[in-house]
Structure 1
Amino acid sequence: MISRLRRRPEWQFFAVLPKADPLLAAVWWLLLLARGALPAVFAIAMGSMVGAVQHGSALAAPLTFMGTTFILLQVLTPVHQAVSANLGSRVAAWLNDALAEACVGPPGIGHLEDPELAEDLTVAREFDRGQTGPPMYMNVDFAAGGLVELAGGVASAVVLFGFNWWAPLLLVGAWSATHWLLRESGVWRDRNTTEVRSAQRHADYAYRLAVEPDAAKEVRLFGLADWTVQRFTDRRRRLFELQHAATRLRERPMIWCLLIVTVANGLVFWALGAAAIDGRLDLDRLVVFAQVAIGVSMIAFGGLNWVLDGAAAPVVAVQRLEPAMAPAGALTPARRPVAAAAPVRGRAVAIEIRDLSFRYPHATQPVFDGLDLTVPAGSSLAVVGQNGAGKTTLAKLLCRLYDPDAGSIEVDGDDLRDLDTDGWRTRVTAVFQDFLRLELPVRDNVAPAGAPEADILAALVDAGAGDLAGLDTRLATGYGDGIDLSGGQWQRIALARALCAVRQGAGLVLLDEPTAQLDVRGEAAIFDRILTATRDVTTILISHRFSTVRHADRICVLETGRVVELGSHEELMDVGGRYRTMFDLQAQRFTAEVDEQGMSYDTL
């Protein structure tokens, strides 16, 4: 029973409050209980005032009592609201910290690409932006208001025991019955379905299309402004429809609720009236018991259920993600641990891939099925193939962001799974298609872990970014001293980051479409400089541009999870196979000898 109670979303929400800030949570609960008790205390104060007037007693004490209670009713509410807002902000920070740790903690990245965790990840990531519900600082305040009413109802019932034993029990039972009869609007369960969470994700995506800059150009270029707004409106309407369907009040339960509440209150007030008429109940006591009898109604099913649903959803999502992400992003434990060699500048890495098989979690088709490939130390290998052939997946496996399902990747004769992961990653560097853009100065973008200034400057020059900006210039326009870069300029910064790592001792360089945002001539020139800067290490290049690919020592053609061709550019052209076909198709686009400025197109 206790275990099941602790699994409830409401319990998880309240359990987070002291974790976020123990002192503030304690003050929040104390103020909540005080506010809940004050309506019943005010009823008693009113009764004492009426009794004093009735009996001709001194009014100073009753007036002071009533006035103090009234002032507390007015003062504690804004104080509690301020505490709630602060506590809500602390809870939001705690949830964001917990989510960040859950996302960053695992050594792999499978948990971030797992479709089964996508819904919870969206709810957990977006909860404080106001799209899937009110921000947490508002949720905590709303919850406080609902709980104050509940506590007020209980306090009123306690005072009503002074009239007789059955009246509070009858009213509490009647108003509590609304929670059971209206259970079909139990939002803490019905609004947390897969369908509702999916609708929340679609609504949020439509919102981001409208407000974020990444899509702004094409939204306008293709006349999609009205379509985007309509899509957002439709998705939000669908979300509200699903939420309403999960929380609507059924006709029959509502009738039963009205009947039970009416009968119970009728009996209690009939008994109060009869006692007053018979002289068994003085006017002052009648005033008190009549007020608290009305106050018991605060126990009724109401907005608290909705509030707890919205507040608990991100808490539940984060706490469900924490244990789920760890195994999803885990890597295979080493069978015989081997310390990774320390980074030494110029020490190249030899790669041997044997009978490698890999399939993404929950995918039906394998990416690799028996892949064999050798990359000698100090050589450069270009990997080409159609989209979906596994080129980027190969880079992920070499970075050990995933482990293979079968077969092995050997590094200098040692299985990659036996090497210390952090130690290995100091020896490998990469430029991915979705490379990192840090809103930090150039210096920190090129060397996030720090490096000698001479190495940073040399890496920028090698990447063709030596004159982009000073090392201390912030690469973000959201700051007063920041600047913006084009896509190609950012790509040069990413290349400089990889080349700086080579100067710090990385022995394997992975380049996944490293110059896709550069023009063809610029790409060829940059890649020549990259090969010069990495001539003492092992380089693996993934690219669709054969003007770059042809510079590598060897070229590997991937297809259906295997190597179908391997050799130098000249050797593969002589074979006349897949590589020759792809090369000729791309070369046909460059039939002109010069452009309008007289510059040669001949980069092949």
Structure 2
Amino acid sequence: MALLKARREWIFFGTLWKSHPRLTAMWWALILCQGVLPAGFVVAVGQLVGAVANGTPLLTPLLLMGVVFVLMQLLTPLHNQIGSLLGEHVSDRLHDRLLVAAGAPEGVAHLENREHMDELTAARDFDLGMTGPPLHMSMGFIAGGLVEVISGLAHAVVLAAYAWWAPLLVGGAWLSTHWLLRESTQWDRNTGEVLDAQRRAEYSYRLAVDSPAAKEIRLFGLASWLTDRFASERRTLVELRWHTTRLRQKPMRWAVAVLTISGGLFFWFLGRDAASGAIGLGEASTFAYAAVGASAIAFGGLNWALSLASDGVAAVLRVERTMSSGTAAHSVVSGQTPAEGMPAAEIRFRDVTFAYPGMSAPVLDGLDLTIPAGGSLAVVGVNGAGKSTLVKLLCRLYDPLSGTIEVDGTDLRDLDLGSWRRRITAIFQDFIRYELSLRDNVAPSEATSDDVLQALTTAGAADLRDLDKILSPGYENGTDLSGGQWQRVALARVLYSVSRGAGVVVLDEPTAQLDVRGEAEVFDRVLEATRGCTTVLISHRFSTVRRADRICVVDQGRVVELGSHDELMALGGTYKRLFELQATRFNEEQDGADRAR
């Protein structure tokens, strides 16, 4: 019983019942009715043939045939509709569970870990038609297979009226053929190779149909290239399906042999008895049709659509289990100590080492850094030095592999996570542009209009006043913003959080899409608005960096220089070299602009 319950098909049917018992009961009842009716039609045909042969009244067999025929026509569309509704309901419920499961872990490691990404891909895409039909369509194919096998069994039962051994001989032969046919084809669609191909094909498709990449695709003439790429990757996915499907010649030969022997024996006996008069013409007709109808056993049952749907449902349930009880869910665990008023003295990184899941080389390697409370610290370094990783750890999106981050001497992991995150606010380099109203982009919770407008004004976006305007051209009366405007909106989100009590401000490339003048203006406003907060700034623009109280240079996961702008320039190390290199480029660009004028 335990092995049966562990099968993905059992899990799938159990999920149907748990999602909507009433619809599931109706779906199964109609499967049973549709499966039995063809056998009833065969019996009615045999009675009609017998009545014609014997010269008896035809009314009763004709009425029986008519009733069965009408029911067969009516139940099919009804069953399709119920199956479609059931599939949509189950799909919606599973997506709800997936949404809750993926959002449950407090960190982000589960969304960037390769093993978890494969599971998430399979779970997320099970109903998108990438590897099979959506669930509301699959229900029809699944039901069709079950109706066929019940129909075959019902026809085999009819043969019992001829001889006790007939159902065993004919039904057993078709049942063994069903097993042999299933053995001849196997497809493992959850391998890393298949999931990679599926992910690549989906990405190419989204590039083609979503708007963010539209400008570059058209500007660089990439439409044909992208179409060819999607076709190639989709073809690869189909080829993998075929390559991992093994057609076994031996089971096919056995199937032909079994059917030839069993069918030959049955029809020899049936013909002999019909010729001798042991059975009438109507009975012979019924049993002959029933023997042929029993073939549905071989071709019905648990088919390919059930396999695809079961894989998708199982993937969602595995993700749910992983997120709730696996390592992903516990990669970031909340402590108990309240974080209100922290930091009052300092934030300190002590010998912190960290590597992302699946990476062998550490991004941070024994990093030591002290951030005094109430001041501003700029973090600079080449790409990949570990700057953004540092602030991810500070936000507790990840935890260090070794070492500690302390806030006023308390390990960050001992702080209540919700309490700490209320104390911290951030704008990340890849900040989100919500397709929501301007109000919800600044304050995705209850907020007064005055507070939102104040945050926008401080961020340099005073021209944006319509708080109910949807920031997406895809909606009626919606609009889009320039890159610089979007960045100001994201900054306003940070400033609103500061007005609500956040005391640690993380600015990861906060003005990357603004010109130099706009950057200076906005950053001065931000520094003024966050006075008294502990501010950590990451930027490649040294005109912004030099405004910070202290500057640290990160290289190969460690702090190699620390001090004020003047101190680091006097030191003559990495900071000075980077600063002078950027200043030289800026002067060259400025001279070129002057000459152009």
The TM-score, its normalising length taken from structure 1, stands at 0.93
Aligned counterpart in structure 2 of residue 316 of structure 1, from 314, 317, 323: 314
1:266 alignment counterpart:
264
Q: How does 1:88-487 map to 2 (within 5 A)?
A: 88-187=87-186, 189-301=187-299, 305-326=303-324, 327-331=327-331, 333=333, 337-341=336-340, 350-487=346-483
Q: Deviations over 1:260-306 (max 9, x none)?
A: 22222222222222221122222222222222211111111469532
Aligned counterpart in structure 2 of residue 584 of structure 1, from 575, 580, 583: 580
- Following superposition, the deviation at residue 201 of structure 1 comes to 1.9
> Does residue 17 of the first structure (1) align with residue 13 of the second (2)?
no
CA contact (8 A) 1:348 1:537 kept: no
> Does residue 567 of the first structure (1) align with residue 566 of the second (2)?
no
- Following superposition, the deviation at residue 432 of structure 1 comes to 1.0
CA contact (8 A) 2:146 2:301 kept: no
Counterpart-to-counterpart distance in 1, 2:332 and 2:228:
47
- Distance change in 2, residues 1:167/1:593 (3 Å): closer
- Following superposition, the deviation at residue 96 of structure 1 comes to 1.0
Aligned residues: 595
Q: Which amino acid aligns with 1:178?
A: T
Q: Which amino acid aligns with 1:328?
A: A
CA contact (8 A) 2:145 2:299 kept: no
CA contact (8 A) 1:349 1:507 kept: no
- Distance change in 2, residues 1:595/1:81 (3 Å): farther
Q: Which amino acid aligns with 2:29?
A: L
Q: Deviations over 1:30-55 (max 9, x none)?
A: 11111111111111222233344444
- Following superposition, the deviation at residue 450 of structure 1 comes to 2.0
Q: Which amino acid aligns with 1:442?
A: L
- Following superposition, the deviation at residue 533 of structure 1 comes to 0.8
Gaps of 5+ in 1: none
Q: Which amino acid aligns with 2:569?
A: M
Counterpart-to-counterpart distance in 1, 2:345 and 2:141:
59
**What SS is found at the alignment partner of 1:532?**
helix
Counterpart-to-counterpart distance in 1, 2:556 and 2:80:
61
The TM-score, its normalising length taken from structure 2, stands at 0.94
- Distance change in 2, residues 1:420/1:486 (3 Å): same
Counterpart-to-counterpart distance in 1, 2:209 and 2:345:
45
Runs of 4+, deviation exceeding 6 Å: 595-599
- Distance change in 2, residues 1:550/1:303 (3 Å): farther
- Distance change in 2, residues 1:301/1:40 (3 Å): closer
CA contact (8 A) 1:276 1:286 kept: yes
Counterpart-to-counterpart distance in 2, 1:230 and 1:364:
35
Q: Which amino acid aligns with 1:305?
A: N
Q: Which amino acid aligns with 1:539?
A: T
**What SS is found at the alignment partner of 1:479?**
coil
**What SS is found at the alignment partner of 2:213?**
helix
- Following superposition, the deviation at residue 387 of structure 1 comes to 1.6
CA contact (8 A) 1:408 1:415 kept: yes
What is the Cα-based RMSD across aligned positions, in Å? 2.4
- Following superposition, the deviation at residue 71 of structure 1 comes to 0.5
**What SS is found at the alignment partner of 2:522?**
helix
Q: Which amino acid aligns with 1:318?
A: V
- Distance change in 2, residues 1:433/1:577 (3 Å): same
**What SS is found at the alignment partner of 2:543?**
helix
Counterpart-to-counterpart distance in 2, 1:262 and 1:26:
39
Counterpart-to-counterpart distance in 2, 1:35 and 1:184:
27
Aligned counterpart in structure 2 of residue 541 of structure 1, from 534, 537, 544: 537
CA contact (8 A) 2:36 2:150 kept: yes
Gaps of 5+ in 2: none
> Does residue 509 of the first structure (1) align with residue 505 of the second (2)?
yes
Counterpart-to-counterpart distance in 2, 1:301 and 1:73:
20
